[in-house]
Copies of this chain bind each other. A is one copy, B any other.
Amino acid sequence: MTVQTPVATPLSAALLDRFKALVGPKGWSQDPDIIAPHLREPRDLYAGISPLLLRPANTEEVAAIVKMARETKTKLVPQGGNTGLVGGSIPFMGNDEIILSLQRMNRIRSLDALNDTITVEAGVVLAQVQQAAREADRLFPLSIGSEGSCTIGGNLSTNAGGNAVLRYGNTRELALGLEVVLADGQVWDGLRGLRKDNTGYDLKDLFIGGEGTLGIITAAVLKLHPLPRAMATAFTAVPNPAAAIELLSMAKTATGGQVTGFELISRRSLEFALKHNPGTVDPVAEPHPWYVLMEFSSGRNDGAIGETMEALLADGFEKALVLDAAIAQSDGQRAAFWKLRELLSDSQRPEGGSIKCDISVPVSKMAEFIDRATAAVEAHVPGVRIVAFGHIGDGNVHFNASQPVGWERAKFLELWDKVHAIVHDIAHGMQGSISAEHGVGRMKIDEIVHYKSPVEIEMMRKLKRAFDPDNILNPGKVVRP
């Protein structure tokens, strides 16, 4: 696999040699085959070119690289597991950006069980953080589809969300401290494991969600939680999203905030998953228009959480908010329910082109949003198949449009901008977000200027200019200086 095209780099061989000299022989590559996977992303929406891949082994090497980039005004594209969906980790086509992969910085530096913290380097894969926590009888709750290959540095840089936000928050809420290499090559040691520290401005949250444009996160102190002792999981048929939201509110109260999963799934989403994944089974006997995959967690393994769920479902049934439900009777069944949820996204692929929107609105407006956006897109593209699912407990839905049957994929994808505009206008009108989880990257750098106030964009520009005055850190992503 080679995507490098023979574009001459404006970066001289001498300059590249200076960067290479900063890291050991394992710390760089100019082999197009090795560089290639760093130049494309999961949905193949973006591709770029780069003359050099740097893979520093430690913070000092990162600092030396950034210092030289600053001196020589060389652009850097920081990269973790390269699983992002908005092109934030992909260079442009100018062949003048160096890729800075953090993947070799993959040490778990320490775990403090009494403090409920783990200190990890940016390149540690998310699943390994989860695993290390579990081994210490703790939970690191961040849970996303790409957890087997995404890195914690990428999760932090994009403030990743996922399935457990409802109970535990986004990545931002899971990070207590950071180590960051700033744009001048200085290292900020903010690796504090404190729950309370009011000694000045909140610096870490600039870098979390900053997509590598303000500094490069090299390590973090993350918060751990008690490992739940019992879960109750139900695949629940509901008449519509409004009923799901009411059920959510009842569930939050009934459990005192122990709802750890609340995923909306439309019938069509489920059908695609069942159709394209042999061996999967519909959890509920009859088809229904909407489902909720609902999970509660408890610290006590005494059956109480199961009873709470049963009582809630009975209550919901009486109020016609629940049509049917399957409660997982084993870990295997629980895993099967979640597997269906995870398959939803990829199961759109065999159905042709898909235009994906990553929306959030206030939870109370979720149902209205889905209704209005569905009607508007269907009116614009007759025959389009809306595939809606996601974390409605957080007011976040992956509102996707699969192409009408029989269309050409490319023809449908030409409607990308128009469909985005329709959906984003509706979300924006409800004080929603046009990128709930995935960030800005290259994809939405212009669109956020359209939807945000000039005041807000100007604040972002001020930050970019103050922290990266030479625009060397991931230029062309998030905001232009």
Q: Identify which of B256, B396, B467 contacts A462 (C-beta below 8 A).
A: B467
CA distance A249 to B249 in the complex (A): 30
Residue of B nearest to A458 (CB): B186
Is residue A210 within 8 Å, beta carbon to beta carbon, of the partner chain? yes
Per-residue interface assignment for chain A, residues 380 to 396, with 1 indicating a CB less than 8 Å from any chain B CB and 0 otherwise: 00000000000100111
Is residue A417 within 8 Å, beta carbon to beta carbon, of the partner chain? no
Is residue A339 within 8 Å, beta carbon to beta carbon, of the partner chain? no
A249 near B114: Cβ-Cβ < 8 Å: yes
Residues of B with C-beta under 8 A to A166: 195
Is residue A95 within 8 Å, beta carbon to beta carbon, of the partner chain? no
Q: Identify which of B199, B365, B432 contacts A452 (C-beta below 8 A).
A: B199
Q: Identify which of B196, B228, B459 contacts A436 (C-beta below 8 A).
A: B196
Interface centre among A191, A192, A297, A455 (most CB of B within 10 A): A455
Copies of this protein, total = 2
Per-residue interface assignment for chain A, residues 166 to 199, with 1 indicating a CB less than 8 Å from any chain B CB and 0 otherwise: 1001101100000000100011111111111111
Q: Report the minimum CB–CB distance from A309 to chain B (whole Å).
A: 11
Is residue A456 within 8 Å, beta carbon to beta carbon, of the partner chain? yes
Residues of B with C-beta under 8 A to A258: 256, 258, 299
CB-CB nearest 7 A-B residue pairs: A256-B299, A114-B364, A197-B433, A195-B394, A196-B436, A115-B362, A115-B364
The interface of chain A, by Cβ under 8 A from chain B, is 112-117, 137, 158-159, 161, 165-166, 169-170, 172-173, 182, 186-203, 205-206, 208-210, 214, 225-229, 245-246, 249, 252-258, 297-300, 302, 304, 308, 360-365, 391, 394-396, 431-440, 444, 448, 451-453, 455-456, 459-460, 462-463, 465-467, 478-479
